[in-house]
Every structure is written in C-alpha cells, then in structure tokens.
Structure 1
C-alpha cells in the first residue's frame, strides 16, 4: 500500500475529503501524482471542485476510472514548449506540400508534366495555411494569456481539393473560468475572420485564372455573404460569364476561412461554438447542442428534395459528426461566474459573423 500523504505542495487527502475520499496516493514518473478513492459528487463536479487547489500549485487534474476504481491524476502544468515540436513541424511541412499540390490543380497545372507547377502554387498554399494558422494561433495566444496549457497547432494534411482538413490545438488543462473559456473559444474565429477578409480582399484583386480541364474546372463553389460583401466593397467579382475563368486561387483561401469558421462555430462538443455558447449560457448549452444535428439533417433533407441533392450528403455527414461530437461533452470551467455585457456583445457579434459565413451549397462537383 502506498503512502496516503501527498508530495509537498499538493493537497493532502483530508483537503479533498468533502468531494473525494482518498484511500491511496501514488506517484509515477509518467502520470504524476495519483489519488485513488471514491467521489462524493457527480464525476464532472469532482474535478470542478478540486481543480482550484491543484491549479494554485501548478498542476492540472483529471478524474479517471481504471479497473473499477476512481483515480484523480495530478500532472504538472507547463505553459512553454519543451524542445523542438517535431510532430507539429512535420505535419506543417507535409500540409504545405499537400496544399501546394492541391493549389497546382486549382491553377490548372499538372505537377506530373511540370514539377515546377508545385512551387508556382505558393499563393494558394500561403492563403489557405495563413488563414488556418491565424485562427489557431488566436486560440493559442489567448490560452497563454489565461495561463491555460495548450499545444502548438497540428495541421492535418490530406490529398483532397484543398490539401488539408484544417488544423487543431489541444488544450491540456482545467479551464479556470467562463471568461477564459469564452476568450479562448472566440479568439480563433475572430482572428480567422480577420485573415479571411484580408485574404479575400487580396484574392479578388488578382487576375482570374483560365482553366479548361482538370478537377478545378469541375468544381462549383458557393460564396457566403461575407465573401460577397468583401468583393462588392472592393468593386470586384467572384464569378465570370466565361466558364473557363475562375477566381484567382487566393480567393479559395478566403473561402476556406469562411467555411472553417462556420463549421467551428457550430455549438457542439469541443468545437469553438460550443466553448463560446457554454460560456454564454452555462448548462443550458445541452439544449442548444441537441438542436444542431436536427438542423443539419433538416437542411440535408431540403437540399435533397428541392435542390436535386446538391450538397445534401455534405450536411448529412456533418449531421452525423455533430451527433458524435455531442457525446464528447463540453468544457466545464472551474469558476461559473457569468460573463459581463461586453463579452456577451462580442459573443453575439461572433455568431452573427459566423452566420455570414454560411452558404447552403458550399461546394459541388459538376
């Protein structure tokens, strides 16, 4: 039997007694300090109650159930980056290559016939990766501001029309307050929207490309109101009478930014919209979350019946994803103090901007 006293600086078992009755304390080189015991509250409330004691001492805490018993695991927090993040760097480089390849197709080039076409696609890759990076570093910057441990962005390469499925960061910490949850959640979409507007404004002023064959000639994009508004303010156009002319591929970076922002603002699971909504409405978030799959399946049904099925499969797929995401739960902050009026106003504005990024038929292969 291991000792029932905690390492210096960490809460003693007696401190946790009104929430978690500890009968064993163990220290491991990989997991940190482990408190074995029985919870005296709902499992999600246990962490919420005990996390402040651990956080003050520089630890984050999770509650696990292993081989029939509950374990509170306290792991030392680290806000810095230890060494070179090789996984992040490798994924970023591979995603750069995959977006360069995807960009060559949007320019109507063939990498097989001309390997230099890969490098010529750098404006497309820069616009797509730039928007995604700004979004994720918005989260990262506010995580550091609120002293919440978070990873650097992980880019996700995939050989599709865009060369990527986006990017994510991992938050490995207890969320200190609703304010922190809101600020971190809203920072990504707002930063990404700013980058989206800039990239779109640049893209619409660049000359269109002429594409007579290949995958780019078979793609029909739907542009949301946000992009249409930027183009109108710049006195430029997003569509052309000549079917061989397509907007400069830099515009696709703006389209990606708008589409990613809308999807991320869906209030389910661990998406940005869930963080923002949870911070705004508290536990009522559960009701909001239930409505999202219903709305997406309804949209898919409408498109199937009245629009010849265009994009119906896309929204049905996201309906299934949101059902899955909703099972992962949302972040529960330690401090449930409601947000002030300024943050509520910013949250409302963010959701309105997210709605401007929506288009019923975002992409169709023709």
Structure 2
C-alpha cells in the first residue's frame, strides 16, 4: 500500500489532526478515511504542507469517490493526488490548434472575406487577426498561470475554446487543482490575468490602429450605407488609445483594420472577467480585498446585469446587447450561488495589494460600454 511506504505520508503522520482508519488507492490517488480533530478547512490547512513535501495536493470530502462506499457522518475522506502536469498536455495542445484554425477561419470569412471553402489555404492571410485574438486571450491566461506557479498553486495550462464565429473563440481558461493559500495569492492570481491581458490588448490596439482598413472593408462600408449592419461600439479605453496615438480620426470613421477588433475583444473579455462574482477574476480580487463580504456584493451583480438588459430593452427601446447582459446575468447567478474562491488562510491584505486590486478594477471599468454590439439601420 503506497500510503504506508516512504512515497506518501503514513496514517501516523496525520494522527495529530486526523485519525485515519482506512487507506486505499484509486489509480494515482491515495484515499485516507478517518475522523478529524477539526473542521475540514482547518484540517486542510494543517495537512497541505505535509502532502506537498511528498508531491501531492489534497482535497477533503465528506463523501467517498467510490459511490458504492459510504462514509460515516463523523468521518472525512482525504483525497491526495500528484501535483503538477504529468506527460504532454495533449488536450491543451489540440484545443490550441483548433482555436488557431477557428480564428483563422473567422478572420478570413467574416473580416477578410476570403474564399475559405473553395480555397482553404487562403485563410492563412488572416493570420494577423488570429494572432491578435489568441494573443490577448493567451496572455491573459498566462498571466494567471505565471502567478499560480509563483505562489505554488497547482493549476493547468490554458484551455482555449474554439468557436468559428466573429471572434473565432469563446476565450480560454485555466483550471485550479487546489485551494489558493492566502488572500495575497488570491489577489495576485486574480489580478494578473486582467493586467497582463490589458497590456496585450493595448499593444494589439496600437498596432491595429496603425494599419489601414482592408479593401474589402472599404467596399463593404460603402455598400452598407443604406443597409442594416452590426456595429461594435468603442469602450473608453479604446478611444483613449486612439487619441494618444493620433488615430482618433480612423476610429470616428468606424472603419479600422480587423486587428483592432482583437483589442476590442480583449477589452470585452476584461470587463466580463472582472465582474465581482464567484470565481471570476473580479470575484477573486474583491474576495481578497473585502473578505467574506464579497458574497453580499456578488449577490447584487445578477440584478445589476438584468437591470441593464431591461433598461436597454424597455427604456431605450431596442434589443442591442440585451442578450449579452441577460445571458451574463444568468451566468452570474450560477456563479454567485456556487460561491467565491476562499483562501486557506484569511489574513487581510496589505495596502499595496489593495491598491493593485482597486487599480485593476478601475482599468476594467475603462473597458466597459453599455452597448458593446449594436444593430444599425439606415
């Protein structure tokens, strides 16, 4: 039995806080069943360092992973799994390649208007659009990943989500495999993604604004002056960047190179991720700053999103972007119900970390526009 040799903690090692009476294995997992001397959160906090010495992360459960086995009411199951990435991350790699193809298709078909069905290789001409989208999404997630490594939190590499529509992707995520140790780590991990993603977004936007619109865009704009069209409205940050780079005239014309849309996507992703609810980046940041009171703030988020959707539909008298905010209202409801990411140690933050969190939220506010997508009729 692996838990009795030197490759993993023995029941005797756990005895001060966890009276283990059954040890078993399930694949690469170790299962310790026993009676705790403290609640689950304290038990995890006391034992996490011990198991890390042996290369394991832990989870405390009140049910057994084997559904056929029952756990007595006075007992817990401690599940220990190897930490880190084992083997080549095939799933991440495949999803990344599919997202590259998806963004190439979206750029070529919707923006460059290339004959991708008769000449699939023509989609390669849309590589600047693909690089812009993948760049802002990937840098955002890599910001999170770097901070998880810095704080020694076991997490996956980014998972990209392909979707061959206007953007070419539904974003990217990393999966936390264990609890975050402190509020400081929670703040660092939560803020690092938006800050890194915004840095990439600014670079992509500046580069895109220096490029001239495509000939097919010019022709389509002329032809659509008397037709209904989709308009992507500019958040304040995009306007500020255009003013600072002397390209505000391009933005006012409403006709810019598709790479600029990559920056627009980065700003929308930042706004949505910084909603202060559940385990979104904004939820991490606010939970780190205000502690358990974050749940009160999170409870108000779905109502605010539904109110915005209602205002656009019934007061403004249209359905522009109503679906976006209504859908995210439903999503936020589920996230608020699931609750925030609670660190193992809940000490308050220092002033510097609070300032970083507030700055991140302020920058996120500059990416907000109440009507990101609008249907314009002549």
Task: Please say whether Structure 1 and Structure 2 have the same fold, judged by a TM-score greater than 0.5.
Answer: yes
2:356 pairs, out of 346, 350, 354, with 346
Q: 1:305 to 1:169 in 2, by over 3 A?
A: same
Does 2:165 correspond to 1:167? no
SS in 2 for 1:327: helix
1:22 pairs, out of 6, 20, 23, with 20
1:322 pairs, out of 321, 332, 337, with 332
Matches within 5 A, 1:254-273: 254-273=263-282
Q: 1:240 to 1:354 in 2, by over 3 A?
A: closer
Name the counterpart of 2:142: 137
2:111 pairs, out of 106, 114, 124, with 106
Name the counterpart of 2:207: 202
The offset of 1:119, in angstroms, is 1.1
Name the counterpart of 1:181: 186
Q: Distance in 2 between matches of 1:74 and 1:305?
A: 53
Q: Distance in 1 between matches of 2:285 and 2:279?
A: 10
Name the counterpart of 1:85: 89
Aligned length in residues = 357
Name the counterpart of 2:82: 76
Matches within 5 A, 1:149-164: 149-164=154-169
Structure 1 regions of 5+ residues with no counterpart?
none
SS in 1 for 2:284: helix
Q: 1:239 to 1:230 in 2, by over 3 A?
A: closer
The offset of 1:52, in angstroms, is 3.5
- Any idea what the Cα deviations from partners look like across 1:115-163, whole Å, max 9, x if unmatched? 4431111110010001111111111111111111121111100122111
Q: 1:57 to 1:205 in 2, by over 3 A?
A: same
User: Do 1:62 and 1:74's aligned partners in 2 also have CA atoms closer than 8 Å?
Assistant: yes
User: Do 2:236 and 2:367's aligned partners in 1 also have CA atoms closer than 8 Å?
Assistant: yes
- Which segment drifts farther, 191-200 or 135-144? 135-144
SS in 1 for 2:361: helix
User: Do 1:58 and 1:76's aligned partners in 2 also have CA atoms closer than 8 Å?
Assistant: yes
Matches within 5 A, 1:349-364: 349-364=359-374
Matches within 5 A, 1:117-136: 117-136=122-141
- Which segment drifts farther, 277-286 or 37-46? 37-46
- Any idea what the Cα deviations from partners look like across 1:165-188, whole Å, max 9, x if unmatched? 011111212322221121111111
User: Do 2:242 and 2:251's aligned partners in 1 also have CA atoms closer than 8 Å?
Assistant: no
Name the counterpart of 2:55: 58
The offset of 1:342, in angstroms, is 0.7
User: Do 1:107 and 1:211's aligned partners in 2 also have CA atoms closer than 8 Å?
Assistant: no
User: Do 1:128 and 1:256's aligned partners in 2 also have CA atoms closer than 8 Å?
Assistant: yes
Does 2:216 correspond to 1:228? no
The offset of 1:304, in angstroms, is 0.8
User: Do 1:176 and 1:335's aligned partners in 2 also have CA atoms closer than 8 Å?
Assistant: yes
Q: 1:145 to 1:315 in 2, by over 3 A?
A: same
Q: Distance in 2 between matches of 1:177 and 1:294?
A: 30
Does 2:243 correspond to 1:219? no
- Any idea what the Cα deviations from partners look like across 1:65-95, whole Å, max 9, x if unmatched? 13442411012222xx433321111111111
TM-score, scaled to structure 1: 0.89
- Any idea what the Cα deviations from partners look like across 1:166-224, whole Å, max 9, x if unmatched? 1111121232222112111111110000010111011111102325279xx83210111
SS in 2 for 1:266: coil
User: Do 2:141 and 2:158's aligned partners in 1 also have CA atoms closer than 8 Å?
Assistant: yes
SS in 1 for 2:338: coil
Name the counterpart of 2:98: 94
User: Do 1:211 and 1:246's aligned partners in 2 also have CA atoms closer than 8 Å?
Assistant: no
Q: Distance in 1 between matches of 2:17 and 2:290?
A: 26
Q: Distance in 1 between matches of 2:41 and 2:326?
A: 31
